[in-house]
Structures are given as C-alpha cells and as structure tokens.
Amino acid sequence: MPNLKPSTKTISLRLPEGLLESIKIEANKRDVPYQSLIKAWLAEDVRQHRQS
C-alpha cells in the first residue's frame, strides 16, 4: 500500500514583514522550512487549546 499523505489545502496568509522574518530566522536555526514551522506551531496551539 502506498504511503498516503493527509490532504492539504493551500491558503494565503498575510503577515507583517517583521514577523515573517522572525519566523524565517527561527526556522533556519532549527533547519526546517518556515512553512513547516508555522504548521507545527499552529497544530500545537490548537491541541493545547482543545485540552483546556
């Protein structure tokens, strides 16, 4: 059986340039793409708020 990835949807999100730069710097420190870091942070925040 092939490895299936969960379906994803492309969105457009406007961020202040300074915030995006800070995210890119943090992603670079962790050696991950900045989009992946944003997804991980969002997923973690949603999990935490659902447990509250």
Q: Would you say residue 2 lies in a domain?
A: no
Let me know if residue 8 belongs to a domain.
no
Could you give the C-alpha distances from 3 to 6, 35, 38, 48, in angstroms and in order? Answer: 10, 22, 24, 28
Give the model's confidence band at 5: pLDDT under 50 very low, under 70 low, under 90 confident, else very high: confident
Tell me: pLDDT of 39 over 60: yes
The whole-model pTM stands at 0.81
What is the pLDDT, as a whole number, of residue 2?
62
4 within domain boundaries: no
Q: Is residue 9 part of a domain?
A: no
